[in-house]
Amino acid sequence: MDLHEAAQELYAVLPRDFTSARTSLVRAAKEDGNKELAQEIGRLPKPAAGAWAINMLAAHRPEVIDGVVRFGASLRAAQEESDAAAFRELSQQRQGQLTSAVHAAKDLADELGAPLSAAAASDVEQTLRAAMADAGAARAVGTGRLVRGLSGSGFESVDLTDAVAAASAEDIAGSGSAAGTEAGPAAEPVRKKAAAAKEAANKEKKPKEQATSLADRRAAKRQAALKQAQDEFQGADREAQDAEKKASEAWEAVNELARRRSDVEAEIAEVKKRLASLEADLIGLARDADSAESGKKLAVRTATQLRRSADQAQRRVDRLG
C-alpha cells in the first residue's frame, strides 16, 4: 500500500466513517513497518461535504463527471476559438448540465445515507462549474480524492492548492487548448453547425475579401460578438445562481416543515395512545366507583339496622336495672 492507494480508499468512505477508516489505515501502515506512510496518512484531511459528494460521483457515477468534463472542454474550445455562436449556444445549455449533475450528487448522497445540505449542494455546483471552466479543475474532480470545493469562472485559472489529497502532477495538470479535442456529444451538434457556417462563408468569399485588412476587421467583429455573448452569459448566470439559491432555500424550508410535521404527527399519535390508556383507566375507575357506592349503601343499611338493635337492647337493660 502506498499513499495514493490509501487516499483512494479513504476518500471513498462515508463522512461519519472517515476518522475511524483513517485510524485503521495508519495502524496498518505501522504494522507493515512504514512509519513515514503512517504519518502521511494521518495528515490526510477529512473532505468537505461538497467535495465528498464529488468524490462519490467519481466513484459511483463516473459518467456524470465525464459529461461535465466533456461539456466544459467544448465550452472552452468555443471560447479559445472566438466562436461566438457556439459559445452562446453552449452557455445556454450550461446551467442545465450543472443542475442535472447536482441532482445526481444529491440522489447519490441520499442513497448512501448522507444527504447533502443546501450549502453542500451549492458547493457541488460551484465545483462542477469550475471543472467546466478549467482543465486542471476538471482533472481534479475526476480523481475521487477532492478535499475542498473549487471556484472559477473561466477567466482565470482555478486555485488547486491542497484541493486534492495525495495529489500528483497528473491529477491537477491542465490540458490547455488541446482540451477542445475532448468535446463530448452534448456539444457535437453545435460544433458541426458552426463548422458548416464557416465553410459556407469561406466558399462565398471573393478574392478581394480575403485581404488581410478585411480579415482583421472580421476578427475584431467576431471578438466583439464573443465579448458581448460573455457579458450576457455572466449576467444571466448571476441571475440563475440567485434563483437557484432561493429555490434551494425553499427546498430546505419544505424539508424542515416536513420533518416538523412528522414530529408533531408522531407526538399526536403518542398522545392518542396515552389518551386511550387513560380512558380505559377511567372506565375501570367508574366501574369500581359504582361497585364501591353499592357497597357503601349496603354498609350504611347494615350499620343502621345494627344500631337500632343495639338501642333496643340498651332500653331493655335500662328497664330491668
> pLDDT tens digits for the chain (321 residues)?
899 999 999 999 999 999 999 999 999 999 999 999 999 999 999 999 999 999 999 999 999 999 999 999 999 999 888 888 898 999 899 999 999 999 999 999 999 999 999 999 999 999 999 999 999 999 999 999 999 999 976 567 899 999 999 988 777 665 433 333 344 444 444 445 445 544 554 555 444 454 555 566 666 666 666 666 666 666 666 665 665 566 556 555 545 655 677 677 777 777 787 778 888 888 887 888 788 888 888 888 888 888 888 888 888 888 897
Predicted confidence at residue 284, as pLDDT, reads 80
Q: What is the pLDDT of residue 242?
A: 66
From CA 179, how far away is CA 182, in angstroms rounded? 5
How far, in Å, are 12, 59, 127, 142 from residue 21 at the CA level? Answer: 10, 17, 26, 22
- The reported pLDDT for the residue numbered 186 is 41
Cβ contacts of 170 within 8 Å, gap of 6 or more: 139
pLDDT of the residue at 185: 44
Give the pLDDT score at 177. Answer: 33
Tell me what pLDDT residue 182 has.
41
| Predicted pLDDT at 225 | 64
Which pLDDT score, from 0 to 100, does residue 126 have?
96
Question: Residue 109's closest CA among 59, 166, 163, 143?
Answer: 59
Amino acid in the structure at residue 67: G
Q: How far apart are CA 178 and CA 74, in angstroms?
A: 11
List the grid coordinates of 247: 429555490
Residue 1, number of CB atoms within 10 A of its CB: 13
* pLDDT of the residue at 10: 96
Quote the CA–CA distance of 170 and 190 in Å, as a whole number: 30
Name the pTM for this structure: 0.56
Q: What phi and psi, each to the nearest 5 degrees, are found at residue 275?
A: -65, -45
Q: What number of other Cβ atoms are within 10 A of residue 208's Cβ?
A: 7
Residue type, 103: H
Give every CB contact of residue 216 below 8 A, 6+ residues apart in sequence. Answer: none
Query: What distance in Å separates the CA atoms of residue 132 and residue 67, rounded to the nearest whole number?
Result: 10
Distance CA 190, CA 11 (A): 37
Q: For residues 30 and 164, is the Cβ–Cβ distance under 8 A?
A: no
pLDDT at 168: 82
131 within 8 A of 55, measured Cβ to Cβ: no
Give the phi and the psi of residue 164 in degrees, each rounded to 5: -125, 130
DSSP for 170-191 reads HHH---GGGGGGG--TTTHHHH
Judge residue 83's burial from the number of C-beta atoms within 10 Å of its C-beta, 0-12 exposed, 13-18 middle, 19 or more buried: buried
